[in-house]
Amino acid sequence: MKEDEPAGPKVEDLIAQAKMVLDFNWTGEYTRPGPRLYPHQWSWDSALIALGYARYAPDRAMRELSHLFDAQWKNGLLPQIVFNPDFAAYFPDASFWHADESPDAPTHLRTSGIVQPPVHATAVLALLRNAAEAPGVRSFCEKAFSRLVSWHDYLYRERDPGGENLVYIRHPWESGMDNSPMWDAILESMFLYPSDIPSYKRADTHFVSSEDRPESAAYDRFAYLVKLFAERNYDEARIREDCPFLVQDVLFNSLLCRAERDLAELARTLGEEPSAFEARARKTAEAINDKLWDGERGTYLGFDLVSGAHIKVLAAPNFVALYGEVPDRKRARAMLARLSSPSFSLTEGTGVPVTSYDRLGFGFSSVRYWRGPVWVNIDWFLMHGLRRYGYEDEADRLREAIVRLCREEGFYEYFDPTTGMGHGSDLFSWTAALLLDVVLEG
Amino acid sequence: MKEDEPAGPKVEDLIAQAKMVLDFNWTGEYTRPGPRLYPHQWSWDSALIALGYARYAPDRAMRELSHLFDAQWKNGLLPQIVFNPDFAAYFPDASFWHADESPDAPTHLRTSGIVQPPVHATAVLALLRNAAEAPGVRSFCEKAFSRLVSWHDYLYRERDPGGENLVYIRHPWESGMDNSPMWDAILESMFLYPSDIPSYKRADTHFVSSEDRPESAAYDRFAYLVKLFAERNYDEARIREDCPFLVQDVLFNSLLCRAERDLAELARTLGEEPSAFEARARKTAEAINDKLWDGERGTYLGFDLVSGAHIKVLAAPNFVALYGEVPDRKRARAMLARLSSPSFSLTEGTGVPVTSYDRLGFGFSSVRYWRGPVWVNIDWFLMHGLRRYGYEDEADRLREAIVRLCREEGFYEYFDPTTGMGHGSDLFSWTAALLLDVVLEG
């Protein structure tokens, strides 16, 4: 075990605390991302949580992912939210989504009608790597394999109509980075009449300071997009015709690149054919490099398919291309230089690395969700990404930041990069799960 | 005199109060826009203030405008700020601008190196109309006429390189609407290294709550642009090569259209040739109609020359095209419908008309400067604009709003559209001056 700073609880206590956070949020079928703010199952939260369970509780990992796969749509869509019927207070609730409008949606339980970034193959592979001998793991992975193939096929079939090997997302929630400044210009250009905005009542700002959460004008647009999908019965071709939010996002496509490679390795281990997944991973990496690289900023930028222009916003999630092993050495060096600048404080500069958005950026806020605060999942992706390119010191600096934040501030959803203070939901599951993955990694 | 609501001071007292605000800010040579926040002379403030003086104190109007014309650059540029050497605390101060880098800048006093919207011909015409017989007015207007011609010639020569009959602005401050959401996407795409941002110390947030003022990331970019101009010795052609902010703004061009027509009328009255100004006004109106009209939003949108796209943001200043008599009847009707919607609350909906930005817009704030609050100058332009198209009731509603805000809240810089509360600088000169113009208009 790496020696960690002495301040705060010893590592053993920290591990015990993290496990208690996950126990606290465990519902018996899945783990809530946060105790009050997030009562249902969220897709990429569950995958990141399963990564943590894979280190010490493979049975929980399998039940977490099975509950999600059980809600998979017939066309392969892995839903962003699987609703727990016991919790109605959350907005938007199941009835708001009208997912039942789609012939593909499951009927035995209710889900939302969008997706989240694909880290599920990565979680299943971690299970196979860390707990291959545990009872039931092998057979679970074999069943999960076909679910994952159908999920990735859905993305390439439905979200890459031009065959560019880049998939689009159609709602800020699909990026997982709901109110990132990356979406500002698109949301600003979404001009709404009052009649466009479905009536709704937010629940989140009862649990957390509204300063920490997206602004109401953003929520109007989130709700508007959901209504647009439901009115088109979730028919992707019809949605694509006039959906104002269609983005080839860097994080989403980089994680898909990583997930395809992990799917190929799963295939090799399970005696399946890996080459198709390797080929798709290679083509996606090529497409990210050809279309999304921005030399001036030294990283990749998302592409807005509606306005036909790159999204000129410098945000940390775009560096997760390192985790997908997308850049060559030269570009990885440029990305490290940018991460090490005061914009993200990976090495020099003040504050906790890394800010989720350029500290000198026009839209920076040190407390408002994805507009600047530090997120453990982004640090985790970048830590692993930097290690793959041999940048051990920088990777260690992120590892220390994850441990120090959990030890000194607690298992919060995100953290103020200047003060370190925790914000958003407390007892946040993926913060605890990724801390466990880091500390138990040895 | 129109009968106004009884609540608060009677009209005579309100008039006396307004005159005292202007006396309070009168320095002996010009009128400060606000007592603490704005110690120097500002260009379009002075023109709007002169409009008020033209009703009762023509001598003050002439001295106000003479002080500004005295600072006119050799190439015709009428500077945004004429610095009062007694006040050094304001940022950015004269030394920050380095206006002396330009061979055109005056040497006997110091100015900034940018402009503000052209309402000066309108002010001189108001003087000639309301106080033609007062001593010295006629000869002042004759001298002012050549100054105004050189000022308008500067705009068309230096700021319309393509001969489109649309002039560009090159700094948010030139629009007069410093932090409007209209500039967000451009400021967001201005990617700055720490070394790009000149060191500076803001003074404004000592006088007024920072909630009311632009955010610091905006100020970094304001300072960056000033440095860019100074480094190019204010050579417009060199600036134009890589200035990231080049916008054909609707308000600026509409006021220029109005000012050219007023210059033509001045010419007629003073025995000069009017036709060149009428022709330019007509061509500018045509260009605004051909290039900037947006059917979906029912108004005009600014054009970003750098990204080559319209600025898809719905803001009240864009309706000032009515004041420039730019739209035909059909478009004027569409603009009225939009102004009367909940976005701006001119007739139905809640709150004080009109919000400076779409109340349902992504960037709306009810207190932060140009991101929603009500400004008396915009209401004044729209009031006159609507009257020119025969919309008397709506014009009266704006007149009542101006009187009621001054009577019930005070002479503030801007007002919260939901509560009516005053924000920004108190004792704001153009609020008092335009109140006087409205009430003394009879």
Tens-place pLDDT, residues B97-115? 999 889 999 999 999 999 9
Interface mutation vs chain B, best among A188, A199, A219, A307, most B CBs within 10 Å: A188
**Sorting pLDDT into bands at 50, 70 and 90, what band is B259?**
very high
Rounded CA-CA distance A301/A372 in Å is: 17
Instruction: State which of A96-100, A230-234, A343-347, B96-100 shows the largest mean pLDDT.
Output: A230-234
What distance in Å separates residue B185's CA from the closest CA in chain A? 6
Percent of chain B, pLDDT > 70? 95
Nearest CB to B361; choose among A217, A296, A358 = A217
Q: What is the mean pLDDT of chain A?
A: 93
The pLDDT value given to residue B193: 86
What distance in Å separates residue B197's CA from the closest CA in chain A? 10
Strands (E) across B272-313 are located at: 293-294, 299-300, 303-304, 309-310
Nearest CB to A362; choose among B193, B221, B313 = B221
Residue at token pair 């059980």: A70
Rounded CA-CA distance B316/B422 in Å is: 19
The pLDDT value given to residue A208: 67
The pLDDT value given to residue A194: 84
Active site residues of B: 178, 413
The pLDDT value given to residue A332: 98
The pLDDT value given to residue B2: 46
Sign of CA pseudo-dihedral A146, A150, A155, A160: positive
The pLDDT value given to residue A161: 96
Q: What is the CB-side half-sphere exposure of residue B184 using CA atoms within 13 A? A: 26
The pLDDT value given to residue B77: 98
Residue at token pair 């545990």: A134
Q: How far apart are the first and last CA of chain B?
A: 5
Sign of CA pseudo-dihedral A239, A245, A246, A251: negative
Residue at token pair 């000012």: B259
User: Could you give the domains of chain B?
Assistant: 11-440 (1.50.10.10)
CA B207 to chain centre: 22
Give chain A positions within 8 Å (CB) of B192: 360
Q: Is B1's pLDDT higher than 50?
A: no
Tens-place pLDDT, residues A5-20? 556 678 999 999 999 9
For chain B, the C-alpha Rg in angstroms (whole number) is 20
Percent of chain A, pLDDT > 90? 83
Sign of CA pseudo-dihedral A75, A76, A81, A85: positive
Give chain A positions within 8 Å (CB) of B185: 184-185, 188
Q: What's the average model confidence in pLDDT over A23-35?
A: 96
Give chain A positions within 8 Å (CB) of B210: none
Contact B314 A342 (CB under 8 A): no
Tens-place pLDDT, residues A417-431? 999 999 999 999 999
Q: Is B359 on the interface with A (CB under 8 A)?
A: no
CA B433 to chain centre: 14
Give chain B positions within 8 Å (CB) of A192: 360
The pLDDT value given to residue A207: 64
Q: Is B198 on the interface with A (CB under 8 A)?
A: no
The pTM score is 0.89
Residue at token pair 């990204």: B307
Tens-place pLDDT, residues A52-72? 999 999 999 999 999 999 999
A83 touches A94 (CB < 8 A): yes
**Sorting pLDDT into bands at 50, 70 and 90, what band is A197?**
confident
Which amino acid, A185?
A
Q: Characterize B245-277 residue by residue with b for buried, 16 or more Cβ atoms within 10 angstroms of its Cβ, and e for exposed.
A: bbbbbbbbbbbbbbbbbbbbbbbebeebebebb
Tens-place pLDDT, residues A146-191? 999 999 999 999 999 999 999 999 999 999 999 999 999 999 999 8
Tens-place pLDDT, residues B345-378? 898 666 899 999 999 999 999 998 999 999 999 9
Tens-place pLDDT, residues B377-393? 999 999 999 999 999 99
Interface mutation vs chain B, best among A186, A362, A371, most B CBs within 10 Å: A362
DSSP state of A142: H
Least confident among A318-332, B4-18, B251-265? B4-18
Is position B26 annotated in a ligand binding site?
no
Q: Which helix (H) or strand (E) holds B247?
A: strand B247-248
Tens-place pLDDT, residues A348-368? 666 899 999 999 999 999 998
The pLDDT value given to residue A216: 82
Q: Is A2's pLDDT higher than 70?
A: no
Nearest CB to A189; choose among B194, B218, B312 = B312
Nearest CB to B342; choose among A190, A194, A358 = A194
Rounded CA-CA distance A305/A308 in Å is: 5
Q: Coil, helix or strand for A85? A: coil
Tens-place pLDDT, residues B23-73? 999 999 999 999 988 999 999 999 999 999 999 999 999 999 999 999 999
Q: Characterize B408-430 residue by residue with b for buried, 16 or more Cβ atoms within 10 angstroms of its Cβ, and e for exposed.
A: ebbbbbbbbbbeebbbbbbbbbb
Rounded CA-CA distance B241/A361 in Å is: 23
**Sorting pLDDT into bands at 50, 70 and 90, what band is A404?**
very high
The pLDDT value given to residue A228: 96
> What residues does B357 pair with on adjacent strands?
B315
A352 touches A374 (CB < 8 A): yes
Give chain B positions within 8 Å (CB) of A298: none
B353 touches B346 (CB < 8 A): yes
Give chain A positions within 8 Å (CB) of B296: 191
The pLDDT value given to residue B3: 47
Rounded CA-CA distance A6/A299 in Å is: 36
Contact B189 A312 (CB under 8 A): yes
Percent of chain A, pLDDT > 70? 95
Pick the closest to residue A176 from A250, A124, A227, A84 (CA basis): A250
Q: Is B209's pLDDT higher than 70?
A: no
Long-range contacts from B217-220, C-beta under 8 angstroms, 24+ separation = B217/A360, B217/A361, B217/A362, B217/A363, B217/A364, B217/B187, B218/A362, B218/B172, B218/B178, B218/B179, B218/B187, B220/A360, B220/B192
DSSP state of A433: H
Strands (E) across A288-387 are located at: 293-294, 299-300, 303-304, 309-310
**Sorting pLDDT into bands at 50, 70 and 90, what band is A205?**
low
Between B421 and B201, name the one with better pLDDT. Answer: B421
Rounded CA-CA distance B123/B114 in Å is: 20
Residues sharing a CB contact under 8 Å with residue B241, sequence separation 6 or more, in sequence order:
none
The pLDDT value given to residue A163: 97
Contact B360 A190 (CB under 8 A): no
Q: Is B307 on the interface with A (CB under 8 A)?
A: yes
B313 touches A188 (CB < 8 A): yes
Rounded CA-CA distance A152/A247 in Å is: 18
Is position A43 annotated in a ligand binding site?
yes
Q: Is B5's pLDDT higher than 60?
A: no
Contact A185 B184 (CB under 8 A): yes
Q: What's the average model confidence in pLDDT over A73-94?
A: 90
Q: What's the average model confidence in pLDDT over B255-269?
A: 98
Pick the closest to residue B343 from A88, A194, A178 (CA basis): A194
Q: ipTM of this predicted complex? A: 0.81
CA A424 to chain centre: 16
> Could you tell me how many residues make up chain A?
442
Tens-place pLDDT, residues A247-289? 999 999 999 999 999 999 999 999 999 999 999 999 999 999 9
Token pair of B226 as six digits: 């000033």
Give the active site residue among A174, A212, A236, A413. A413
Q: Coil, helix or strand for A299? A: strand
Largest Cα–Cα distance in chain A?
58
Least confident among A123-127, A424-428, B238-242? A424-428
Nearest CB to A296; choose among B187, B191, B296 = B191
Q: What's the average model confidence in pLDDT over A93-118?
A: 93
Q: Please, what is the angle between helix A250-270 and helix A137-158, to 10°?
A: 140
Rounded CA-CA distance B171/A320 in Å is: 35
